[in-house]
Copies of this chain bind each other. A is one copy, B any other.
């Protein structure tokens, strides 16, 4: 019976439920242990770039323009690494700071410093303010939301559209001086896979927030991460903001975590020179420099943007069939039933499923029971609370493709069971 559940009679729903339950019990009996929880590259991707390990192989390799990267110093990063990321992001090398293995750490640190010391244009540290509000386009990245949550910011859900965050709503909220910032993943947003439209990006750059120290957290995590089709160019948010009179509003972040090895990549924070000069004073208390050998290793391996895009094509060849497997399962098993919607991204690491309202938690509980681990329900919303209990993030990159197909079989069964239970109780 493959027709929309909402058109079925209660009797038909019951029959369908019995059939789906039987299939589910059968799947459960296989004692699966499958994981689609995190945007982790799979083994094949890692093997494909592990030649990075030997790029620097002796002492003589460790010099960049006379600088011995093995020793202390150069807080801002190896100059060659600053030039590399500058080209990748379309900014100037002087606008970059090179970090360690995680851009998440640079993001955390930026917010942390806003709280402990304040930003360049802050009147006082945010910890001394009565309240701090932060705009959170949702569904979004759970780890972003956890950062603003841990510092006690009041998070405001901004709905995502096909063009990016709902800018009418954003422009309304930023008139409130307590609204101090906003999270953005401008390209292949996590999890919706949305590329912000030019119009949206320009509206963001031209915002006139009441808070003078408004912090635009621009996480360009998937800036070169197409798995289907050619590289999609993006505009430099620093230039756009500067042109609109907001030079110190944006902090942009990126990393090589999904270009080379996630456990040992390098990261970048790009911001106005005034912002970096301010941050440098604070950072110098904290660290002498991040790992410069690894910075140079990455530059020698990735070379430049053109070569990086070639490497991304190799990742794409591994990733594309995985996304196709996910979409095939959804198109075949779920589309005819009209119980969920999903995106068809061409880059990034996720498929975002909007299940029938009120069924996401139940779906994922059923998955878990059958040995399929997914990102927790609600994780894509601030405080882990999806008001519709609908959004589910699928991360297809890690499992071997046969396991992914098995996991999607189970996931579709669970989605159906949860929808049927909802329809039967309606």
Contact = CB atoms under 8 A, between A and B. Distances in A.
Contacts of A413: none
Given A116-B115, A127-B116, A290 B100 contact: yes
A56 B115 CA distance: 40
Contact of A263 (B41, B53, B116, B293): B293
Contacts of A288: 102, 104, 262
Contacts of A62: 46, 50, 53
Interface stretch (A18-26, A66-74, A271-279): A66-74
Interface in A274-306: 282, 285-294
Q: How large is the interface on A (under 10, 10 to 19, 20 to 34, 35 or more residues)?
A: 35 or more
B56 A68 contact: no
A330 to B, nearest CB: 25
Interface string A237-268: 00000000000000000000100011110000
Contacts of A344: none
Contacts of A101: 100, 287, 289-291
A311 interface: no
Contact of A261 (B43, B46, B71): B71
Contact of A71 (B125, B263, B286, B293): B263
A425 interface: no
A59 interface: yes
Given A50-B70, A59-B50, A263 B291 contact: yes
A117 B116 CA distance: 11
Interface of A: 38, 40-41, 43, 46-47, 50-51, 53-54, 56-59, 61-62, 68-73, 100-102, 104-105, 108-109, 112, 115-117, 125, 127, 143, 146-147, 150-151, 257, 261-264, 282, 285-294
